[in-house]
Amino acid sequence: MTDGLKARLAVAASALMLAGCMSAVPQEPVAADMSEEAAAAPVAPEPEVPAYAERLPQDEVVYFVIPDRFENGDPSNDTGGIAGGKLDNGFDPTDKAFYHGGDLRGLIERLDYIQGLGATAIWLGPVYQNKAVQGPPGGESAGYHGYWITDFTRPDRHLGTDADMKALADALHARGMKLYLDIITNHTADVIKYRECPDSACPYRSVADYPYTKRGGISGESINDGFMGDRPPFQTRENFAKLTDPTYAYTPYVPEGEEHVKTPDWLNDVRYYHNRGATTFEGENSQYGDFSSLDDVMTENPEVVDGFIDIYADWITRYHLDGFRIDTARHVNPEFWQRFNKAMVDHAAGIGIPHFYVFGEVYNPDPAMLARFTRVDGFPAVLDFGMQSALFDVLVNGEAADRFGRLFKVDDLYADGSAAMAPTFSGNHDMGRFSGFLRAAHPDMSDEELAKRVELSDAILMFSRGAPVIYYGDEQGFVPDAGGDQNAREDMMPSQVATYNDNDLIGTDATTAESNFDTDHPLYRAIARMAKIRAGHEALRRGKQVTRLAELDGGVLAISRMDGERGEYLVAFNTRNEPRRLNVPVDARSTTFESVAGSCPTTAAATGVLTLSMEPLGWTICRSGDWEH
């Protein structure tokens, strides 16, 4: 831990203690003879809040981009300033596992394209300095994705400079757009090794079988005298000061030449890591194990908590960021998040960012498990894997619309407001694209139906509760090979990857071998139209959602987005490839309607009933007349 951080934390702690004492003790009246100088002491002004920062998280349409795969604005940084070949600098634009040359300058050059889509915020994949290449001989790959961090304090040289990052943030804010940054606290790059496993990953060793106070197991030599473990109520500096010997499970060490490869320097101390071997992503090892050999940080240690608060508060200050997407949230202990998330939101508010958006990645489709992280771990929001799962079940597997009804019933389990601002998505850089799921499940599906189902998935994201996320390339009809991960991280700039360039894209004769920034692409136009509708009607972003119909056997989902006490917007989706005419419940006060999108009758069929005619795989939005007039 840096001395500067300790000093700042000590001052903050003293201030908090003093504030607590002052609030608890009755205060004497102010002396009448207070000096004029003291009485005239200036009050610190409230930080200025720009107009875009006043928008709520659910107001945004979010565009998620991996910068290395977007646009190359500065070829001079392609190798990150590292000499040698691909196994040294990680650059090989023909290999999907290596850097391709996209960078922050390229992203700046394409902001007109992103804003034209209707996006109001960019979720930027991790930009920190990464270990360029890691992996066993024959299995090497590069850190183009940004999740193998060595230096948490600056951008990766493959992507640009601090000035480039500042230029991107400033350019977005000048357009009234927001910038969300992907962050990681669970792990660092793979640097630490274990002497017991020189040639392979070590299997996980549990806390019970290999306690912190015994070297190499229950029968081993006593070490770390007085250490009470890493669970509450022992997550204190005094307790962790007794954890001096890290050889309780394995013998960790840092290879020669890498002793100070990480920044800040406290991250080079092996005592700040769990060092228990590889995770299998279940049970205890999901929190303590090494994720794909990456060094798993001991986030229970308060020194680590303070260190990450210091790191990421600085990123907020430097670039006036508007939010964080937090990677691998479910692999970190809840006490860490309870402190960290609040610290980020409070720090941002203090510098004029009142709605700083923190959303965690909890890779689990169970909405109850997702909701838990908003109540226990203190996340303002989590990525809505439940919505993604429902989209897949209904539009890919053909389940009834009631699948959505069951999903929305669980919204009440979330902390207040969390479901309403959850980022919703249909696919991503890990699991793959929604178009890929459709083609894999239905290889004979026509291009027309494929395009309609993808467009309908976007409409459900746009007009139901939450903040819709568009994964870069979806708007250009990208259809990856099965498998997700590297297969779904295609280039928007002209690609040299053969397994990308042979893909059959939706709505175009183009391939990924060409530059794919076509603003006339039918999916680009469709998303832009949806985003314009969403922006023009506040209730479609912020209105309370009421499920009106979720068919038990059919494919129609209808929801109302309530416009306060003025009226409602009825939004209906037909998830089957057949026309439908049906009666849908509405509020009894809604007697007249007008179309916002699609076909709408002008009057209710009866009190509290609207009759809709829906096209195959279509969607419609009907706005009721004003209840107050």
Q: Which residues are catalytic?
A: 327, 361
**Distance between CA atoms of residues 2 and 10, nearest Å:** 12
DSSP state of 609: E
Q: Which residue has the tokens 């226990």?
A: 376
Where helices occur in 280-375 by DSSP H, the ranges are: 285-288, 302-319, 334-350, 367-375
Other C-beta atoms closer than 10 Å to the C-beta of 292 total 13
Q: What amino acid is encoded at 104 in this protein?
A: L
CA 622/CA 603 separation, integer angstroms: 11
The residue among 363, 315, 306 whose CA lies nearest residue 340 is 306
Question: What torsion do the CA atoms of 207, 209, 211, 217 make, to the nearest 10 degrees?
Answer: -140
Determine phi and psi for 129, rounding to 5 degrees: -60, 125
- Host H or E run for residue 357: strand 357-360
Q: Which helix (H) or strand (E) holds 325?
A: strand 323-326
Helices (H), 351-489: 367-375, 385-391, 402-409, 434-441, 447-463
User: Residues 251, 193: contact at Cβ < 8 Å?
Assistant: no
Residue recorded with tokens 């959303």: 359
Residue among 242, 247, 226 nearest 303 (CA): 242
Please check whether residue 538 is in contact with residue 578, taking contact to mean a CB–CB distance below 8 angstroms: no
Q: What share of the chain is helix, strand, coil (3-state, %, to 5)?
A: 35, 20, 50
**DSSP bridge partners of 134:** 141
Give the bridge partners for 90, in sequence order: none
The sign of the torsion formed by the CA atoms of 106, 64, 537, 542 equals negative
Report the 10 Å Cβ neighbour count for 612: 23
Q: At what angle are helices 302-319 and 334-350 packed, to 10 degrees?
A: 30
Q: What residue type is 629 in one-letter code?
A: H
